[in-house]
Every structure is written in C-alpha cells, then in structure tokens.
Chains A and B, each alone.
Chain A
Amino acid sequence: MATHNTPVIRARGLTKRFGTLVAVDDVDLTVPRANVYGFLGPNGSGKSTTIRMLCGLLTPSAGEIEVLGLKIPEQADALRLRIGYMTQKFSLFEDLSVRENLEFLAAVQGLSKSRAKQRIDELVAQYHFEDRQKQLAGTMSGGQKQRLALAGAVIHEPELLFLDEPTSAVDPESRRDFWEKLFDLADAGTTILVSTHYMDEAERCHRIAILDRGTLVADGTPAELTAALAGRTVEVAAAQPRRAQQTLVAVPGVLSVAQIGNSLRVLSADDGDTEVHIREALSQAGLQAEVTASQPNLEDVFVSATRGRGRTDEARQEQAA
C-alpha cells in the first residue's frame, strides 16, 4: 500500500503512436495523492490517450507507468477494482433507467446486494436523482447525464478517479455543481485526474499539466505556473483597440494579443523589455494608449506554453484576422 507521500500516478517517457501519428510523446507525470490534478490542452493534444494508457485501456508504445503501486498495463486487472473512469462520451446505457444503470455498475464492481442498495440510495440522494430513478438515462439532459456518470464511476468508492473532459457538454451552472462534487470526493481522500479545456476549471485544480500536440509543455500548481510569467503580461487601454491590436501583433516578442472589451491583453515572450517595444510601436503608429502591467492568469500560461512552440506565426494570423 502506498503511503501518503508516494505519488498515486507515476509515468516516465510515456509514448503512444498510432501508425505514424505520435499522439503522446515522451510524457513524464507525477500525480500526488488526494489531489485534483488537471489535464489542460486543446482538442487532439493527447489528453484522452494519456488517460486511457494510465487506466490500462491502451497499451503504451513506450514508457513506464505505475498507478497505485501497480505496473500498468501488466496489472491492469487489479487496478480496475480500485479506479473509477468516466469517459468523454456518455457511456452508460441510454436504454436503462438511472437506477438500473447504477444497479448494473454496483454488481459489476462487486458490491454485495445489500451494500449495493445502500450505496445506490446514498448516491441517488447525493446526486439529486430522487425523482428520476426510473427515468431512462438517454432522456436526461447533458448535465444530468454527467452527474449520473460520475455517480456510476464512484459507486465502488475508488481511490483514484479518471475523468475525461467530464463537463464538455454541460451548462455553466451544472459545471459548477459538478466541480463541487469533485472537491467533496477529493476531500474524502480520492485522487482525481481530470482533463478539461476550460481555463476556469483548470484554475481550480491543485496541480495542472498542459499538453500540446502530445507533449507535456507545463506542469505545476496554477500559482507556480502563473508566477513564472510575472512581468510578461500587460494591459493596453486604447481608443482604437482593433488598430492597436493589428499594430501589436507585429511587434517582435509579442505572443498574443487578445481583446477584452475595449482593452487589449498582451502576452510577450521572455525577453524582459517587451513593454518598451509595445510603447514604441504604439506611438510610432500614432495611437493613443495606456499601457499597464497586469497579473498573468492561466490563459496566459496556456498561450505561452502552446504558442511558444513554433506556432507564433499561425497565432498572429489568427489574432489579426
């Protein structure tokens, strides 16, 4: 049994190739116990593939994985008893009712009949399905389905929970509820690995890892990651924000310019005096603007991690368009 100090997941050099496509490329991961660990990355960045390899559903092309002290994929059968896995696409049975789905999962996870009944009643109350027990899962809304899927994934009280983009098809209020449930679980000692492409969700994680095109480009607590960008973000309040934006994307060292209302948020590369360049460029273009330093956020972290890698030109065109 692993102690509190040993990580729950440890992966070294994790690689997965599908034919010539390298979906996951040499990823190292360490996930501590009782944490909400976020996997952030654009679509197709290898988040799902990594999660599937960690639960033993996919065989890695290279690399070593140890989850809950078990070698994966060799000991995947033993691991399945101790983890919960919630797929990206709703994977419970749409033609079974809420209660029937939970009954099935309870039995499959090896809960005794009496324990299953007790646990299902508990979950039905906790996840607010009291008056929907007989409703077919397929007829529920996206948020309700996700809640049911989460209830199903934790029915056997797993030590470790994998959630693959659990809130991608859910309205903001349901998303907030869903995250409350995740923190309840983490509080009770469950380690949660959750992938997302929402910044606000990533912001709430204890630690996050950013994946981009199969490579791990950042790993740390949100505070560490944003602190590393200190001094690289400025806010530009301009009278003509669109023109100012066009001017700024051409400035060397500028990674991205995002318009927020009437002001622009500028993220620059790590060369120290971008702010000076920005002021120069703006005055040369004859634009009235006020430049102030601003606190970096996770979106900046994400952009600098993913855009810093040869995608700058593409990004500029996007911004200018």
Chain B
Amino acid sequence: MNMRRLFAIVLKEMRQMRRDRITLAMIVGIPVMQLVLFGYAINLNLRGLETGVADQANTAASRAVVMDMVATGVIKPTHSANTPQELMTLLRAGEISLGVVIPPDFERRRFDGREAVQVLVDGSDTVVQSAAVQLSQLPLDTTNAGSTNAGGTNSGNASASTPRMPQVSVVAFYNPERRSAINIVPGLIGVILTMTMVLFTGVAIVRERERGNMELLIATPVSRSELMIGKVLPYAVIGLVQTTVVLLLGVWLFDVPVRGSVLDVYIAAVLLILANLTLGLLISTKAQSQFQAMQMTFFVFLPSILLSGFMFPFAGMPRVVQWLAELLPLTHFLRLIRGVMLRGADLFALWPDVLALVAFTTIMMTLAIMRFRKRLD
C-alpha cells in the first residue's frame, strides 16, 4: 500500500465528485427528502380514521366509551348508524374504515364481564387493523372489546382481567403522541446510508469501466487494494455528512432525542458506512454496466428496508426470515442506533451487532479485492 497512490485516487474521486452536480445534489437531497417523507407523510400510527358508531345502548356509560375512543385520536366519528348491518354496508362502500358497535344490553354485558363493545374493521388494511387492536386494548372499565374481520368476533380475553378503574385515554410514556418520527429518524440514517453508499460505490468502478478509464488504470502500477480503498474513503466522508444532515434535521424538525453519546452514534454510522461501501464495491466488480449496478443495489435495498426491522418489527418475522435479516448490515445498525439514540445505551453493551458489522465489512472487502482483476479478461 503506497500512501501517495492511495491519496491520488482519493483526490481524483473528490475532484470528479465536485464536478458531478447530480451526485452532489443527491448527497444532501436524498436525506432531506426521505426525512421529510418518512417524518411527515408516512405515518404508520394512524390517526383520524373515519368511523361509524352504532350506539344501540345510548346510555351515559356507552357515550363515555365512545368519547374515550375519540379522545385517543385514532378514530374520528363521521357516521352514526342504528344497526351493525348499516355499519357493514358503510364499511363495504369504503365510507368508513372502522365501525364501533355498542349493543342494547351494553350495561348488562359489562356487568357480566362479557364482550360489551364490538369494533368492526376493514381488515384489508393491516395498519388499520392494528389501530383497531389498539382501540380494543383500551381499559374500558370491565368492558371487553373484540375486533372482528368480516363480522366474526373473537373474545377479548386480554382485557377481561383489566382492573376496575376510571376510563382513561392511552398514555405512552416516551412517545405520548405516538409519533413515528421518533422511531423512524434513527432508522432513517441507516436506510439513507444503505441506499446511497451501496449505490455510489456500486456505480464507481463500473463507471470507470464504461468510460474506458479502467484500461488506463490497470496499465499503471496502482494496486487492487489502493484502488478499492481509495474509492471507498471519499464516500465514507459523504456518509458522515449525510448522517449529520439527518441527525440535525431530526432533532430540529422532530425533536428526536439523542439519549446516548453522539460519538457512539457516529461510530455506529461509520460501521454501517463501511459495510455498505464494501458491499457496493463487490457489486461493482460483478456488474457489467451502471444500470446493472443500480439494479443490484435495489436488490439489496428492498430486503434491507423490509426485513431489518425498519418498517416492521423484527420479532414478528418467521425464524428463517430473521436469519436472512441477520445478514443485512441495516438490521444490526438499527439495533445499535435505536439503542444509542432512544435508550441511551452504549456500544459496548451492544457488542454483538458491532462485531457483526465489522465482520461483514471485512468479508466484503476481501471478496471485492479478490474478485477485482488487473486484467481485461
């Protein structure tokens, strides 16, 4: 490894990047766009679901139950009906997403500890369904609530043992407004780094090949590792810039807390950046064109978003999928960054994930250097 040659490649990459306006715009543009999209537009905790209410009991107690549900902010009563059948018609027509049925014998059922409130839900949207489940877990005195799909009921045995207490709205301690931004922003650092870092390096070597520069490079004394490392370093700096952009915007726009040390946040980011850059390099040695490199990037990006625990809870996945997810750098990064930022953990406590990222980087870099030949055939 010759430092002068390595530095020459880093300098060349940075000079080229400086003149590549689209890439420059992407460096800052992608984090800002994604942060705003995920932070504001994509909200996995639904609020203000259009709801029809059939309060057949119409007592003070039944009206109080409805008021409690409205108070959670999850439902917004838009229709009232006399019978469950009317609600089902509205549901089928798409006028409402939820129906709340309070039967005429509500008081009696509540007293007996039987199901007293029924929530009808448009089960075709799982997110709405989970919102209904949230509703059913409201501590409704001794009231049971069951959620149904297509009219079938299931017994609300979870809330059967709810202690007798005044009906209150849901209070979440760390995230009282149930804002997903708090959970999403730290994860978003990982998603953005996965997308841009793999893409940038995935394209980096293929581009040299497409433009004919590779033939010049391999005819010079540049070694494989100098070329590979020299290509990775400038992008690592960019990754840190992106991390900073997301962190600052997250704190500024969404009041996302950083409960652990900022240094740990950056160390975790560097670990993910290196893992992704080396993965990108490996893609680059395989892809024949920039287009292919982009496709392969997407091939990695999609499972990362879906399986890492960024969008759906890791614990809910089948065992096999969990094993698969363990192979993705983003999975480990999410555990690190959520641990550090939200729970105030330090990296030592999270060492298995640190180790996983280091191992991933080492393997990818070795494979990339081995695969890259200083030959044209």
Contact = CB atoms under 8 A, between A and B. Distances in A.
Interface string A107-125: 1111001000000000000
Given A57-B376, A80-B219, A96 B12 contact: yes
Interface string B160-196: 0000000000000000000000000000000000000
B215 interface: yes
A129 interface: no
Interface in A254-293: none
Nearest to B12: A104
A96 B215 CA distance: 17
Nearest to B226: A108
Given A57-B215, A57-B376, A80-B220, A93 B8 contact: no
Contacts of B217: 108
B32 interface: no
A237 to B, nearest CB: 48
Given A87-B215, A104-B8, A110-B4, 18 more contacts: A55-B219, A58-B375, A58-B377, A73-B375, A81-B221, A87-B212, A89-B212, A91-B213, A91-B216, A92-B216, A95-B20, A107-B4, A107-B5, A108-B9, A108-B221, A109-B220, A110-B2, A152-B216
A105 B375 contact: no
Contacts of A77: 221, 374
A100 B14 CA distance: 12
A92 B214 CA distance: 9
B59 to A, nearest CB: 76
A107 B212 contact: no
A299 interface: no
A100 B4 contact: no
A93 B220 contact: no
Contacts of A90: 212
Interface string B2-45: 10110111011001100110000000000000000000000000
B221 A110 contact: yes
A26 interface: no
Contact of A110 (B5, B218, B219): B5
Interface in B189-229: 211-222
6 contacts: A57-B215, A85-B216, A92-B213, A95-B16, A95-B19, A109-B221
Contact of B5 (A55, A59, A100, A108): A108
B373 to A, nearest CB: 10
Contacts of A96: 12, 15-16
A113 B12 CA distance: 16
Contacts of B214: 91
Contacts of B8: 103-104, 107-108
Contacts of A94: 211
Nearest to A164: B215
A107 B2 CA distance: 10
A181 interface: no
A52 interface: yes
Contacts of A104: 8, 11-12
A216 B19 CA distance: 46
Contacts of B216: 85, 87, 91-92, 152
Contacts of A110: 2, 4-5, 221
B17 to A, nearest CB: 9
Contacts of B211: 91, 94
Given A58-B376, A87-B216, A80 B221 contact: yes
Contact of B215 (A80, A91, A152): A91
Contacts of A113: 4
Interface of A: 52, 55-59, 73, 76-77, 80-81, 83, 85, 87, 89-96, 100, 103-105, 107-110, 113, 136, 152
Contacts of B9: 108
A85 B375 contact: no
Nearest to B211: A94
Given A80-B220, A107-B4, A91 B16 contact: no
Nearest to B220: A108
A94 B216 CA distance: 13
Nearest to B8: A107
A230 B212 CA distance: 44
A94 B4 CA distance: 22
Interface in B212-269: 212-222
A165 B307 CA distance: 52
A91 B16 CA distance: 15
B222 A108 contact: yes
A119 to B, nearest CB: 14
A87 B211 CA distance: 12
Contacts of B374: 76-77
Contacts of A95: 15-16, 19-20
A93 B376 contact: no
Given A52-B376, A87-B212, A108-B5, A57 B218 contact: yes
Contact of B15 (A52, A56, A85, A100): A100
A52 B215 CA distance: 10
A102 B20 CA distance: 20
Contacts of B213: 91-93
A244 to B, nearest CB: 47
Given A52-B376, A100-B15, A105 B220 contact: yes
List 10 A-B pairs, minimum CB-CB distance, nearest first. A107-B8, A91-B216, A85-B219, A91-B212, A89-B212, A80-B221, A57-B376, A95-B19, A87-B215, A108-B220
A105 B217 CA distance: 9
Nearest to B214: A91
Given A95-B20, A107-B5, A57 B219 contact: yes
Contacts of B11: 104, 107
Contacts of A136: 19
B374 to A, nearest CB: 8
Nearest to A96: B15
A29 B221 CA distance: 25
Nearest to A77: B221
A207 to B, nearest CB: 24
Contacts of B212: 87, 89-91
Contacts of B219: 55, 57, 80, 83, 85, 87
Given A85-B216, A110-B4, A93 B221 contact: no
